Amino acid sequence: MSVRVDIAWKSLNKHHEELCGDKVEILKTKDSDIVILADGMGSGVKANILATLTSKILGTMLLNGAAIDSCVETIASTLPVCKVREVAYATFSILQIFHDGSAYLVEFDNPSCVFIRDKKIVDYPYEERMIEDKKIREYRFQVQLNDCFVLMSDGVIYAGVGELLNFGWTWESMAEYTLKCTKETLSASRLAAMLSQACFELYGEKPGDDTTVAVTRVIERRIVNIFTGPPTNKEDDEQVIHDFMKNEGKKVVCGGTSANIAARVLKKEIITSLDYADPSVPPTATIEGLDLVTEGVLTIGKALGLLKRYEQDDFDEEFFDELDGKSGAAKLAKLLIEECTDLHLFVGKSLNPAHQSSNLPFDLSVRMNLVEQLKECAEHLGKSVTVKYY
């Protein structure tokens, strides 16, 4: 089996600090996905530099096949030691999940990872060893579908100290809350946003430390197929619908003309919804056998706006409330963010007179531009994307 993972992280800066002293790096190698969370000592610029250096050094070395020992040795000898506390620089956690399902986790002085399997918090055995006088923990295990792993910086554990709780919430209470949230089977990003929000509230909205959670979930392959735009030659209508329908996965049609083609070839009727969930987005329709039918350019443009905010880590609980909206754009964006590992685009190149100023070549047509942006954005989010033109 080839393991797919959904990874997302969220950081809160220490109150009054412009830079975060925690850093997350997400790397893909040809046979694995790697998440590195580094926490620089202190806060502000110095911590940010220490965490950035640590995560970059670890990432570069791991990508080049270095063993963890040499990674830790390099970090230990590269980064300065604090003169006052005589402790080093930055702490880190590294989780590597291979496509064959084997996994490796190493922790150096960060709170331990929360493992969730079968709706329970589980403990994996680990080995402790010393590298360069540093005690590290190593775990080796096999992942299963729906496993969830949460790495965190110590700001998470100290949330609430002196504010709402006497001793902050403990690792155990954090793990219990994570478990409660994962039972609602959420994407990695939604879970990261919920955990981050809980920490923010425990800190009385003034975080006393940089606070980061990095969530990794093992998911099944989820395919979304989107057909948009009529083919250049009308005689290709049947072909594009045939290709589109024979693919496994969710089926989405964007655009009025495209929906008419689909309905005609599939011999089904279009039922248009009269529900304007969002006045700025045209209503959706339904065609039997398809998962979502929306208007074209306006809806894709609006969905792209949500995808780009998400791509820039601009997601919080309010963002997900928007994503849960009833408009075609929200439904399309939600499908792509939370229910898609592979995206197949079936794109007709016929010019739509409505989007065409007389002298523009077809590449500049609005729809092609949106398709290109959609492809790029989905690839940035780690989805595998194919585009077929007709």
- 53: domain CATH number is 3.60.40.10
**What local confidence, expressed as pLDDT, does residue 343 receive?**
98
Examine the domain organization and report whether 245 and 383 are in the same domain. Answer: yes
- Strands of 200-291 (E only): list them: 211-219, 223-228, 250-254, 270-272, 285-287
Q: Are 106 and 113 in contact (CB under 8 A)?
A: no
**What local confidence, expressed as pLDDT, does residue 68 receive?**
78
Q: What are the CA-CA distances from residue 365 to residues 4, 184, 236, 374 (Å)?
A: 35, 41, 20, 14
Bigger pLDDT: 71 or 307? 307
pLDDT surpassing 50 at residue 20: yes
**What local confidence, expressed as pLDDT, does residue 363 receive?**
44
Examine the domain organization and report whether 72 and 91 are in the same domain. Answer: yes
Bigger pLDDT: 86 or 23? 23
Alpha-carbon distance of 217 to 114, in angstroms, equals 12
Q: Are 155 and 207 in contact (CB under 8 A)?
A: yes
Bigger pLDDT: 1 or 316? 316
Domain boundary among 171, 197, 219: 219
**What local confidence, expressed as pLDDT, does residue 279 receive?**
87
**What local confidence, expressed as pLDDT, does residue 255 receive?**
94
Per the DSSP assignment, residues forming a β-bridge with 345 are 226, 387
pLDDT band of 292, cuts 50, 70, 90: very high
Of 66-70, 230-234, 302-306, 345-349, minimum mean pLDDT range: 66-70
Domain boundary among 185, 219, 253: 219
How much of the chain, in percent, has pLDDT values that exceed 90?
A: 71
**What local confidence, expressed as pLDDT, does residue 240 receive?**
97
**What local confidence, expressed as pLDDT, does residue 300 receive?**
96
**What local confidence, expressed as pLDDT, does residue 376 receive?**
97
Q: At 125, which amino acid appears?
A: P
Examine the domain organization and report whether 295 and 190 are in the same domain. Answer: no
pLDDT surpassing 60 at residue 163: no
Q: Are 325 and 351 in contact (CB under 8 A)?
A: no
Examine the domain organization and report whether 240 and 270 are in the same domain. Answer: yes
pLDDT digits (tens, 9 = 90+) for 250-265: 999 999 999 999 999 9
Domain boundary among 166, 190, 219: 219
Examine the domain organization and report whether 200 and 229 are in the same domain. Answer: no
Alpha-carbon distance of 90 to 98, in angstroms, equals 26
The two tokens of residue 338 are 């939370």
Examine the domain organization and report whether 92 and 230 are in the same domain. Answer: no
CA-based end-to-end distance of the chain: 33
Name the average pLDDT for the chain: 90
How much of the chain, in percent, has pLDDT values that exceed 70?
A: 92
**What local confidence, expressed as pLDDT, does residue 162 receive?**
58
Range of the domain at 91: 4-219
pLDDT digits (tens, 9 = 90+) for 77-125: 787 766 666 666 789 999 999 999 999 999 998 999 999 999 999 999 9
Of 57-71, 72-86, 341-355, minimum mean pLDDT range: 72-86
Q: Once rounded to an integer, what is the mean pLDDT over residues 314-342?
A: 94
**What local confidence, expressed as pLDDT, does residue 276 receive?**
80
Examine the domain organization and report whether 238 and 130 are in the same domain. Answer: no
**What local confidence, expressed as pLDDT, does residue 364 receive?**
47
Examine the domain organization and report whether 372 and 260 are in the same domain. Answer: yes
What is the tally of structural domains in the chain? 2
Examine the domain organization and report whether 206 and 257 are in the same domain. Answer: no
**What local confidence, expressed as pLDDT, does residue 168 receive?**
59
pLDDT band of 52, cuts 50, 70, 90: very high
**What local confidence, expressed as pLDDT, does residue 12 receive?**
95
Examine the domain organization and report whether 249 and 215 are in the same domain. Answer: no
